[in-house]
Each structure stands twice: as C-alpha cells, then as structure tokens.
Amino acid sequence: MKIKTIKEIKDLKGKKVLLRVDFNVPMQNGEIQDDTRITQSLETIKYLKTQGAALIIMSHMGRPKGKIVEELRLTKAAKHLSKLLNTPVKKTENVLDDKVKEEAKKLKNGEILMLENTRFRPEEKDCDPAFTKELASLGDIFVNDAFSAAHRKHATTVGLADHLPTYAGFLMQREIEALSPIIEEEPIRPLTLIFGGAKIDTKIEVIKSFIDKADYFLIGGALANTFLVAAGFNVGKSLYEKDKVEIAREIMLECEKNRERFIIPHDVVVADEISETAETAHLPIEDVMDNMKILDIGKWTAEKFNNIIEKSGTVIWNGPLGLYEHKPFQNGTKLVASSLARHNCTSIIGGGDTADALKRVNVPAGGFTHISTGGGACLEFLSGKKLPGIEILKN
C-alpha cells in the first residue's frame, strides 16, 4: 500500500505541523501505567522538531462524549512527553479558542504545543466542517501518526485532510507496512484469532468478517461471558452484555459446522471480589454459581488455547483473557502469551490493553512479530476494511 509519508515533505523549516497522535494511554490513580503509545510516536516528533517545524500535537483520551472530564485531561501526557524529549511541551486548557489560536501563532521553530483532549469537543467526533476548518487554520501541514484511531472518521483523524497537505508519520507507516502482508497475501495457516477484553460491540463486526477467513477463534476475557450466556451457561455476577447475547448466539451457530473452531472457556477462575488479595477458585464452567464473578480463563482452557497456537501459522490477538490489572487474574493471559512468544509463527498483537497486559505478566515484546498500537483499528484493517484515517494518506 503506497501512502504519503513525512519524508516526502520538501522543507519543514518554519512550517506549523498539526500532528495527530494517540496518547490514549492506560491510567490508574491519575498516573500513566503504560507509555507505549507515547514512546512509539517519539520518532515522528523528533524528526519534525529537528527539521525545524513547530508542532501542534492533537490527541484524545477516553470517551468524554463531547464534554470536559477533568480526569481525562492530557496534562500528564504532556508532562511525560516533555520528560521523554527533555524539552518543554506547552499544553492548552482548551481544544480551540482565541487563546489557543494566539499560542499557536506565537509558536517558534522546534517548539511543541499540545492541545487539550480533542474529544472534549463534540465537533471532533462529528467531523464538523466549520470546526475542522477553524482547527486547520492553526497549521500548514497535517501529519497523521495515530494508527489506533485510523478507523474513526473524526475531525483530527480525517477532516483536516480536506484543508491541509496530509502525510503519514513514522508510526503510521510502520503499522501499515507490518500489517499489510496479512491482507495482501494469503496468511500462513492455520489462522487463529484470539479475542478477549471486555466489550463485544467493538469486536462483533470484526469476528463476523473473519468467519470465512479464520480457522480458529479463541474467546476469553469478559467478552467470553456474553458467549457463555448465549451457550446456556450461568455466569453468576460476571460482567456480560445482555443486549448482545443473541448476536453471540448467531455467531456460534455460524461456526457450528466445526465445534472445535469457535472455543469458549470450559473452566474459569472465579472470586467474590476484585482485589490483589482476592480468594480465587478454579472451576469447570458448569459449576459457576449465582454469587460468583468470572475473572479469568482456567488453566485447562489456557492449555486448549496453547495446543491450537502450537499448530497455527498465523495468530492475531486482541484483548487480555482475564482482569489482568490484578495479579490473581493474570494467569490465563500469561500462559497463553508465553506459549505464543515461544511458538515460531506470525504473531500480531493488537491494542493498548493487550500490550499493557504483556508487560504486566513479563512476557517480552521480542517474542512477537508485531505489537500494534491499535486495537479496533488493527482488527478492522486486517479484516480488509478501508480505514478513513489511512485512505486520506494514499498516493
């Protein structure tokens, strides 16, 4: 796939660059837990800075739904970036107003200004033309380095391309180059997809798009609870999506020709509470009772997953298999990650939570072919969908 990259810009000196990144990093108690998405964009930021451009950095964090949410401000991200670069990073209090325009106007070559969380403005998600045009007036060039937001048609991921010359940053370029062979060539089979995490709605269409392509689906995390309910099992007080049970049932029916193809947990780790000191029990799925919470896949399920991984030629993994933020519920993710890291196959890890989980369970990144900064974007790209944030970069 041919795209326009920042290396093609003839002269950056004196130019104001609107740079879209994704600094939507995992936070806990107000502190950054994993700075991978920030460090992955450093190459682009340093290049633009050393070439003499003034940078206006844009990012979102969380889902504030067009309103100001104090805990979702980008203040900590700006401070962390400043520390990594060993250079000042100014940050605005708002996304776009007269004060922001004045700050952008004063910006000198090599200086960096970070705008507040773009999703604090409803016009961002709506890709509002007037807002986008006003935002574009701050700069001369638009650089998109936010692969993980490339599946969103927002003002700062797509809209700015209507007003400014547009290029891909190095992170965007790396992601496309690493993932393109999976869709442009026949993947080495068997092709196995591992899905975890909490929500089914972000993965449902992707699962459907892979039904005719994938050889195996391995389902864990809270996502699996919805499928377990659809299969008739009691999940007690576990998190699941009631309104998605019927869709989950339809997917399993589509895969029913080969029951060994779509695998949900047959044993689980349960607890009454979520904490570092929680007392856990390892049970067959049939023995889960009304007062229990399923918080990890069991060791037999992990072993089943590993047996399939060991015979797979390509594995794509999105979403942790348990509530990995707490040690009592990390084992399923650790067992499967360790097996995949050892196996000599093409292995694609997608999503910030999955990458964060691998760090927490101490499985080195070097054991995988590619760790993508994108979750939904990675999956949608691999399913063959055209992502709006990438389409604007094509030659």
Would you please indicate which residues are annotated as catalytic (active-site) residues? 37, 199, 352, 376
Phi-psi domain of 110 (left: phi exceeds 0; alpha: psi -120 through 50; beta: other) = left
Closest CA to 305 of 348, 275, 334, 271: 334
- Give, in order, the Cα–Cα distances in Å from 229 to each of 77, 224, 393: 39, 9, 42
Query: Parallel, antiparallel, or unpaired: how do β-strands 90-91 and 54-58 relate?
Result: unpaired
The kind and range of the H/E element at 32 are strand 31-32
- Four-residue CA torsion sign, 108, 109, 111, 117: positive
- Joined together, the tokens standing for residue 269 give 């780790």
Question: Under 8 Å CB-to-CB from 104, ≥6 apart: which residues?
Answer: 16, 56, 113, 138, 139
Contact (Cβ atoms closer than 8 angstroms) between residue 372 and residue 350: yes
Q: Which neighbouring-strand residues pair with 372?
A: 350
**Sheet of strand 90-91, all strands in order from the earlier edge strand to the far edge:** 90-91, 112-114, 54-58, 16-20, 141-144, 166-168
Beta-carbon contacts of 202 under 8 Å, excluding residues fewer than 6 positions away, are 375, 376
Q: Which amino acid is at 355?
A: A
Residue entry with tokens 């699941």? 240
